[in-house]
Each structure stands twice: as C-alpha cells, then as structure tokens.
Chain A
C-alpha cells in the first residue's frame, strides 16, 4: 500500500495503532480511516465509543469487596499526577455509597479486552469513564441490596445501601458490605437500564473537596512505587547509547573498555529500525551491569562509530527560516469562509504578524525507565506507561511472541505529559530481558537520554493577517500554521498537519469574522515529533491570542472589550460549520463550541484580576482565552518586567469551565500546574538541533520552571456552566492560554511584543528600546 492521501485523519483513534504492524513488517496497514467523510460514515462513534476497545462497565471487572468490607477499585487509567486513581475510585465509591476510608485502588495491567481503552491521553479519562464507573458503582450497590433482601427474605425495595451498610428500613436490620460481599458477587449484574444512578444532590464525594488523594501518604513517605522502584533480587541494570541523530545507526563499536568497568556484565547492540520509527526503540548499544552506576560508567567507556543517516543536517536555525518562508506562501486550505482576498483588497487597513515557537521536551521528573523479565517464552514488563495495551502489542511483535504471552504492569508515573504514551523505552527493556532469560532487567534513561531522545513537541511558524474595518474589527482573517506533524512518526511523506492537530485551536477558531481562510503549508519532520501536554494548541493558542491582543491595541481598544466584541453574539457553533470534524473525538451535537462559555471564562478571569486597574510602572496585565479538549479556559497574568529584563509574575487568575466538576480539588491543582508549566514553556523552554543533534543536555541547558517563576499568587476559578453540559478535559487545557497571556502582559508593561518563544533574554534593554 503506498496510498498517502493528503487528508489523513486520525479519526477518534488515540495515539496509537493507526499504522498497526509498522514495527513488525514495515508494511502499512491502516486501522484509521482515510479522510473525515469515511471516518464520519463509520457510524458516528464518539467519545469512549470511538476509542479502540471502547469502554467496560462491568462491576465484576472493576469492583471487589472483601469480607472485611474493604472495597477495591481497579483503575484502568495511568496515574501521572492528574489524580485519576483517586477520581475514578471516588466515582465508584459514591455510587456504591462506600465509606471512603474503606476504599483501596489497584492498578489494572494492560488488557483492553477486559478493561476497555487504557490510553491515558487526550484529557479524556473522566470524560470517557465517569459514566461507566458510575454504573459499576451503582450496579454493585444494587447487588448488595439484592443480597441483603435475599438473606432477609424481604422485597429489595425495602433495602437501602447507605455508607457501607445495607439497611432494611421497616425492621431496622442492617448488614455491612463485607458480610454481603460473597452473596452479592454470586448475583448476576443488573441490566444497565435498571440502574438507579444518584441525583447530584445525593453525591457524597463527587463534586466535593472531601476526598484526599489515594496515593498521598505513600508519596510523602517515599513508599510510592514508580517505574524505577520495581526491584527484583539479582536484577540487572542497563543503559543504552542511542544514535545521536534520529535515523542514525551503529557503524561499529568497541566494548573492550566498557567491559573492564567493575560490574559491567555484557555489552550488546539493539537494532535500529528504519525511520519513521513509530514507537520502536532508536537502537544503539546497551551496557548491562549489576547496578545503575556501573551501567552509566560502562556506557561512558564505549567507543562507537555512528552513521548519522538522513537527518544529520537538521539545524534549527536553518529550519526556522524554512518554516517562516513557507508561512508566507499559500498552503493547503483547510477552512475557507467568505472571500479573504476580497476582504484584504478592500479593507481600510490590515495587520499582519508572524510567530515562532520552538521544540520542547516533556522531561517528566522521572526519566524513562522500565523493567522486564523474559521467561519460558513469556515477557512481563513493569513500567510507567500511559499506553499499556500498545506496549504489549509492540513487545509481542518485537520479541516474536504471541500477544497473550506478554504482560504489562503499570506503575505510578513520575510525570508523563505525553512522553510515556510511547513505549520505545519499555521495548528496550523487553529486548534486553530476552537476552537474559529468567532475569529482570531494568533500563534506566539518564536525563541527557531523556532530553536527547524525546518525542518532541513540534516546532512551528504561524502567520496571521487581518483585514480591518474602520472600527478596528477584522473583516477577514488569514492564518497559516506550519509545523512538522506527529503523523510523520508513522509513515513517510506526512508533511501536513493531521486533522487532530489542526483541530487543536486552529480550524475551530470561533471568532465572528465573515471572511476566513486557514492554510497549512508543508513541513517535513527531521526528528521524532510527539504529543506534549496540550499539543498543537500551544502554537495555535499563542499565535491567535497574541494576534488578537495586537489587533486590540491597533484599534486602540481595551483587549477584554475587543475580545468580547470579536466573539460576537452568544451562540453554539457546530464545529462542522468551521470545517472541524475531529472535535476531540466528541460528538458535534453534544460538544458544540459555546461562545457564551468563552465569554464567561474571560470575564471571570478579568474580574478576579481586577482588569483595567492602574499598575505601577513596569507592570502589566495580559489576558488570553482558549478552548481545548472541550474545555474553556481564560488566563489573566500580572507581570513585572524588571530593569534588567527579568520577569516576576505577581499573579495569575485562571478561569475554567470544564463542565461538571467531579474532583474540584484535583481540577484546581491541574490548572495550577499547567499555569506553571505554561510559564516555563514561554519563558525558558527550547530544544534546538545542530547537525541533527539536540543541543541541550540537562536541566542547566533545557531549563524548566522553578519556584521563582511560579506566580506569587495563583488562583484558579472554576466556572459552573448553566444547563446540562457534558464533561470537558482537565489535564491539558490549562497550558495554551498561559504563554499568550504572559506575552500580552509583557506588552502592556513594556510596549515590547514577543512574537518568538521563549522570552528568555529578549527583554534585556527594553527601557532603552522604549526610549
């Protein structure tokens, strides 16, 4: 199959599997649809229905109750700080009417036939699993009530489960959940339609701040088990020297010095696969030792001659020029309304601006690490994985064993941010384990390995031009986005952004502008581009929200008032009318874009920040609003630019409408964290390449936010939307508005417009420039 259509669409599929078998055979077997029309014709599968292996709501899979009353909830989603182990357990416990003190959580291994989709990505765990988990809890509650009714020989309608006890109302008899567990488990699961779900007024935990993080105590005492904490007697420890350039291979290597390092057991190559390398390891030379330090020292002693391959010329300075040049020329049109050319020709005036955002590395605090053991033709792995099912599939393919001979256990993740959706590092452990049957092998990445071999956030040039009416409002809007695509991981020649990338804040731009043309010129990838928290929303949100601020200033209008005017009348927009078919995999009817909700978060953040107040010299307020992962977020940032050009963020007000709030405490913490990460991205974050190699090695060169960059005051305001709207995402949508809000604040403070990230030293000498 060589068909590579230009309108490749990821459909509702998550980060995986849409080119199944690439690793094993090199053949292109497509599990995704070609083009949105076919995807659409697939049968309107939205939300969890559209995910690989869908959802499961069987309480016998997810809930168990011990004789002592302990309720154990199985969590099928990976915990990386978003609190999903707490939140899903909370949902089950609420419908079950369990006593939270009696609730435990256990992590499910990768097994989607049993557990439904397990890809923890796309800010959709609660969106897709809230209802199934409610039903699990409600079904289990109903089974407990039935078991009690049977024992007492009374009508089940007289029995009511309440806080870990079933009560027979007429007689006052009671039985604890533990005493009923065995009999309840023997009953059939009641039909879905017969379940009585709680009214929101009956919720005990949902929507309240009453529950503590289920892993909190383990974390503060150091007992929590992350990837590197899985330990077996006699286990081996490995490091891998990987090709410094994506697509490079080992020409030759000399292991003699490495083998002399005390503790080094073996040196062996790992084969590179042809690029694009999908989720496969990069290959290289592995050093296996009796402890991590010996493996690190052994690797330093390796002598390797590399063939750098086709990407040896990747140079960020030159590539930026290519992207910026491409952004000035017409590209593939992805949305066109009205007539932009006419609007530009007949306009009173116009404004254009170009923005640039560099690559970033997720760099979670826990560098990649995995443990694997191969024995009797079976492989078992333990890893901090966001995607245990695809990990199983790839291990089976790579080791040449059957899928059911592979088990993948998910540990806690020391951060993920999208990096741990890709199992390259777990495959390394599996490959090495196969060479040491019966022994557990841990592959430990160093921070340098992590920064050099990320699946990088894309690099992007954004060009915008608006035709303006006399009142300063745009009659026309031209936006070009140019960025290497994540789909380039999976097939050659993928030089355009996929629908799921364009749908992240580009195509679904919702301002009321009559003439709009959105274009996506080509960009070839020369490194592994992957998902990074909030993904393409980062460049799109930065460009659009910076440009709207520029338009407001050009019009001499207050940015808040200008934003509200630009949103136009309150309305619900069917994303399909914006040529936006992906819609985060959600139904366009259930999830229209609601401009009233955009306005509400803007106004909430602005009010909380005291928008419009007088500020001391050198200080400014900036605002931005962005819709992503079907959640509405606005940010107002108050920044002080010091004389030396350094920044002090005094305050950040973040307003969030993510629909109904399941675990408000964790929602606030996610948006606090996203604000800090967004500030790090904006002020410090940059990965650059020279001669195909990443130029940053560790946190002294790839800087991330430290405490000094966090806002002195950071307030998250949860906005409850009117009416009955479905859940929105939480993990990612806090990131995109931060960089533009900050840069708009910098402009308000200094008059200097930042169009290229990171900010870094660009503000040095700003006062002279102003004078």
Chain B
C-alpha cells in the first residue's frame, strides 16, 4: 500500500512503486481528468502539480512523490487562480476536442503562479511541452494573456 496525497486527500493505493502517477491517478484512484497522451513526457496531456509545480505524471513513479501534495485538473476549480484560467479558457473558446486542455490548463496555471505577467517568450517556453493536435495554440496564448491582464488589474 502506498499513501498518495491527491487532491487534498490521502489515498491508500495498492500499487507498485514504479507505477507512473498517471495510471495510479486514473486507474486506481479514479480521477480521469489527467490524460494519457504519450507515456514519455513529450506531450503534456498528463500534466499535474506536485507541490504546485507542473510535472508529467506519465513519467513520474508514484514511489518518488511520497509526502508531496499532488493535484490534478479535477481539483483545479478549488484554486482561485485555477478558476481564473478555466474561465479565460471558456471566454476564449480555446478547446476543440479538449483532450489536451486539462494538461494545457495545468501548465498555464503553474506558469501564472510564478510569472503573473509572463512575456510571450515565457509563455512559449512554459507551454512548449504541451501538444495540441487540434492546433489551439493561438487561443491558448490569448487566454493566458487574459488572465495576466486580469491579475495586473487586480493588483493595481
């Protein structure tokens, strides 16, 4: 049994230590918002937060995160910044098929947490690991900028 701090709760999971967090979260803990896209950390569909930092759950063994807080897109609405990002995604009508968007939103939220007013280069660097096969990148940038300007206004 491995204890996983997931979305604010302790989960006792009967899995081996080498199991990637992605499969523990999806198959065993039962949260399905985190998606499998490549299994090699190449596409970002599985992006989660570990102690607030973005990570690819498909290449992170569950045994490596003991004691750390793991959170997924399923829980993001509890985070005020996460809510803003989700709202911006809706306002900009970013999603097409939507499969990658949970990962995109998790990456964007992590970026905005550390860089509330990111430059275009910072946006691109932070989002480069997230593939969207529908090609929604321009709207993703627009949505991130919308959150940034909201944060700037709130600060002023």
| B98 and A367 form a contact (CB under 8 A) | no
Q: Beyond the given A219-B95, A231-B32, A364-B133, could you list 20 further A-B residue pairs with CB under 8 A, ordered by the A residue number?
A: A79-B97, A215-B95, A216-B89, A218-B98, A221-B74, A222-B73, A223-B33, A224-B98, A228-B35, A229-B32, A231-B30, A291-B28, A365-B43, A366-B99, A414-B35, A447-B43, A669-B96, A699-B40, A699-B42, A707-B140
Can you list 8 residue pairs at the A/B interface with Cβ under 8 Å?
A: A291-B19, A291-B27, A291-B28, A293-B27, A364-B99, A365-B99, A415-B97, A677-B135
Taking CB atoms and an 8 Å cut-off, the chain B residues in 46-101 that contact chain A are: 72-74, 76-77, 86, 89-90, 93, 95-101
- Taking CB atoms, residues of chain B closer than 8 Å to A708 are 124, 128
Distance (whole angstroms) from the CB of B103 to the closest CB of chain A: 9
Does A446 have its Cβ within 8 Å of any Cβ on chain B? Answer: yes
| A366 and B101 form a contact (CB under 8 A) | no
| A412 and B42 form a contact (CB under 8 A) | no
Does B114 have its Cβ within 8 Å of any Cβ on chain A? Answer: no
- Taking CB atoms, residues of chain B closer than 8 Å to A363 are 133
B89, B132, B133: the one within 8 Å of A220 (CB) = B89
CA A417 – CA B138 in complex, angstroms?
20
Distance (whole angstroms) from the CB of A50 to the closest CB of chain B: 28
CB-CB under 8 A for A673 and B134, given A216-B90, A708-B124: yes
Chain B residue with the shortest CB-CB distance to A363: B133
CB-CB under 8 A for A669 and B33, given A222-B76, A707-B141: no
- Taking CB atoms, residues of chain B closer than 8 Å to A714 are 138
Q: How many residues of B contact A (CB 8 A)?
A: 57
| B15 and A291 form a contact (CB under 8 A) | yes
| A292 and B26 form a contact (CB under 8 A) | yes
Does B119 have its Cβ within 8 Å of any Cβ on chain A? Answer: no
Chain A residue with the shortest CB-CB distance to B91: A212
- Taking CB atoms, residues of chain B closer than 8 Å to A705 are 131, 135, 137
Residues of A within 8 A of B (CB): 79-83, 212-213, 215-226, 228-229, 231, 237, 262, 291-293, 296, 363-367, 412-417, 444, 446-448, 665, 669-670, 672-677, 680, 698-700, 704-708, 710-711, 714
B99, B101, B135: the one within 8 Å of A673 (CB) = B135
CB-CB under 8 A for A413 and B131, given A216-B90, A699-B38: no
Q: Is the interface of B mostly helix, strand, loop or mixed?
A: loop
Does B37 have its Cβ within 8 Å of any Cβ on chain A? Answer: yes
| B124 and A674 form a contact (CB under 8 A) | no
| A216 and B93 form a contact (CB under 8 A) | yes
1/0 per residue, CB under 8 A from A, across B121-147: the answer is 001100110111111111111000000
CA A588 – CA B12 in complex, angstroms?
65
Distance (whole angstroms) from the CB of B48 to the closest CB of chain A: 11
| B137 and A710 form a contact (CB under 8 A) | yes
Does B39 have its Cβ within 8 Å of any Cβ on chain A? Answer: yes
Q: Is the interface of A mostly helix, strand, loop or mixed?
A: loop
Does B149 have its Cβ within 8 Å of any Cβ on chain A? Answer: no
CA A216 – CA B136 in complex, angstroms?
14
CB-CB under 8 A for A365 and B28, given A417-B133, A699-B43, A705-B135: no
Chain A residue with the shortest CB-CB distance to B27: A291
Chain A residue with the shortest CB-CB distance to B123: A707
CA A698 – CA B43 in complex, angstroms?
10
| B23 and A414 form a contact (CB under 8 A) | no
| A707 and B128 form a contact (CB under 8 A) | yes
B27, B31, B138: the one within 8 Å of A672 (CB) = B138
Chain A residue with the shortest CB-CB distance to B138: A714
CA A414 – CA B32 in complex, angstroms?
13
| B37 and A367 form a contact (CB under 8 A) | yes
Does B110 have its Cβ within 8 Å of any Cβ on chain A? Answer: no
Chain B residue with the shortest CB-CB distance to A442: B27
- Taking CB atoms, residues of chain B closer than 8 Å to A231 are 30, 32
Chain A residue with the shortest CB-CB distance to B85: A220
CB-CB under 8 A for A364 and B33, given A293-B20, A293-B23, A707-B137: no
CB-CB under 8 A for A217 and B133, given A222-B72, A226-B99, A365-B97: no
- Taking CB atoms, residues of chain A closer than 8 Å to B123 are 707
- Taking CB atoms, residues of chain A closer than 8 Å to B30 are 231
CA A308 – CA B143 in complex, angstroms?
49
Nearest 3 interchain pairs by C-beta: A222-B33, A676-B135, A414-B99
| A414 and B16 form a contact (CB under 8 A) | no
| A413 and B90 form a contact (CB under 8 A) | no
CA A262 – CA B14 in complex, angstroms?
11
Distance (whole angstroms) from the CB of B27 to the closest CB of chain A: 4
| A447 and B33 form a contact (CB under 8 A) | no
| A228 and B134 form a contact (CB under 8 A) | no
Chain B residue with the shortest CB-CB distance to A296: B39
- Taking CB atoms, residues of chain B closer than 8 Å to A219 are 95, 98, 101-102
| B42 and A293 form a contact (CB under 8 A) | no
CA A260 – CA B87 in complex, angstroms?
48
Does B105 have its Cβ within 8 Å of any Cβ on chain A? Answer: yes
| B76 and A365 form a contact (CB under 8 A) | no
- Taking CB atoms, residues of chain B closer than 8 Å to A672 are 135-136, 138-139
| B97 and A220 form a contact (CB under 8 A) | no
| A447 and B40 form a contact (CB under 8 A) | yes
CA A711 – CA B137 in complex, angstroms?
9
Does B34 have its Cβ within 8 Å of any Cβ on chain A? Answer: yes
CA A416 – CA B35 in complex, angstroms?
16
| B36 and A444 form a contact (CB under 8 A) | yes
CB-CB under 8 A for A215 and B40, given A231-B30, A364-B133, A706-B131: no
Does B4 have its Cβ within 8 Å of any Cβ on chain A? Answer: no
| B131 and A81 form a contact (CB under 8 A) | no
Does B148 have its Cβ within 8 Å of any Cβ on chain A? Answer: no
Chain B residue with the shortest CB-CB distance to A209: B93
- Taking CB atoms, residues of chain A closer than 8 Å to B28 are 291
- Taking CB atoms, residues of chain B closer than 8 Å to A212 are 90, 93
CA A74 – CA B97 in complex, angstroms?
19
Distance (whole angstroms) from the CB of A101 to the closest CB of chain B: 15
